[in-house]
Amino acid sequence: MRYFIKADHFLLENKVVDKGYLLIENGIFSSIVHDVSSEDNVVDWSGFSVAPGLFDTHIHGIDGYDIMDGTEEAVKKISISLAARGVTRFLPTTLTSSSEDLNKAIMAVKSMVQQGLPGAQSEGIFLEGPYFTETHKGAQNEKYFKDPSLEEFNEWQKLADGMIRKIALAPERTGTQEFIRSVKRSGVQVSIAHTDADYVCCEEAIENGANNFVHLYNGMKGMHHREPGTVGSALRSKNSFVEIICDGLHVHPEVAALTYQLKQDRLMLITDCMRAGGMPDGEYTLGEFPVAITDGVARTETGSLAGSTLELIDGIKNLCEWTKEELTDIWHLASLTPAKSLGFESKFGSIAEGKKADYVVLNSNLEVECTAVNGKVIYSRE
C-alpha cells in the first residue's frame, strides 16, 4: 500500500518540517515532498501535526486491566487502550509475584502476540522483579523477593518463546553480577530497580551490562555528597538510560527538568501505569495489594505511591512545560529514546526513511486524532 499524509507539521528527530506530504510505502516511512500528482493517494490531515508513535517500555495496565491478570483479554484491551493514547509499541510489564502468576502473565502475552494484537504492538515482556530488595520495595510484594537464578529465568524465557526483552533487579543481591552478564549475552536488557545498592555496586552492574535505571529516584538509594548511591550512578553514567514518571508526583518538576539537563536523550519517559489509568477514583488492586485512587493518585494502604495513572502524552506535555524545551525534543524521549534503550532505533521511534510507519496525528491541543502502526490506522478519534 502506498499513500501520502498531508499535514501542517511533521516532528522529525532534530527539526520540524512544515507543510508537506509524507510518503508511506508498504508500511514504511519514505521521504517528505512538497508536491504530489493528482493520481496519488493522499490522506489529508491539513491543520494537524504528525509525530512518531509513542513507545511505553514500562506499563502494567490501564482502563481496568493489568498484565498480571494473566488473561488474553487483559493484554488485548491494554493494546487497544494504548492505541487511543498515541502509543504504538509497548513492553507488557509484570510485577513481583508467585511463579504461577508470572507464568500465567507470560503465557497470556505470548498467546495474544501470536494471535495478533489489534492496537499497540508488544515488543517483548518486561519482568519487573522478583530479584529486588526489601529496603526500597515500593508496591512490590517482598514475600516473593529472592536472589537471581539463571535456571529460573531460562525457564521463564523458554515459556515466553524468547519474548522476555528486559528484566529489572537489585544489583546488590547475591549472584546478581554474574546473572547480569549471562542474560545480557543472551540479548536481554538489564535494568536497576527497587535497590539499596551503593555507587560502586551500581557501577559494577553497568560494567557487566546493565543499561537502565527504573523510575529514577523512586525505589532506590538516593544521592548523598559522601555516597553518590544509586541515583548518583544513574546521573553520572554517560551511557545508561534513566526512566522518569513525569506526573509531578513521583518526581518534583524541577528535579525532572534538572535530570533532562544532565541526561538529555538518555532520559526516557514512561508511565508505570496500573489498571486504574483512565478510570474513576475508587478501590483497585496492583498485584496482590489493594490500591486506593484519590484525585488520580494511586496509593497503597500504607500511603506509598503504587504506580501511576499517567498517560505518556501527558508526561510529554508536563516535561515540555517544566523544561521549556521544544516539543520535538521532548516527544522523542517517549518514542526514539525507548527504542534506543532496547536497540530498536533502526526499526522505529522516529519519522525517518526506512523505519516502520508508526505515527500519531495530533491537533493543536496535542490530543490524539489518529494512531497508525506499520502505516495501518489502529485508532481514529472519529
The Cα 71–Cα 66 span in angstroms is 9
The Cα 243–Cα 315 span in angstroms is 12
State the catalytic residue, choosing from 56, 63, 247, 272.
272
The Cα 217–Cα 123 span in angstroms is 26
The Cα 362–Cα 360 span in angstroms is 6
Which residues have a Cβ under 8 Å from the Cβ of 187 and sit 6 or more positions away?
none
272 is catalytic: yes
Q: Which of 167, 142, 140, 141 is nearest to 152 (CA)?
A: 167
Q: Which of 6, 11, 3, 1 is nearest to 366 (CA)?
A: 11
Strands (E), 193-236: 210-213
Beta bridge partners, 269, equal 244
Handedness of CA 169, 123, 186, 213 (dihedral sign): negative
Helix (H, G, I), strand (E, B) or coil at 72: helix
Query: Mind telling me the catalytic residues?
Result: 272
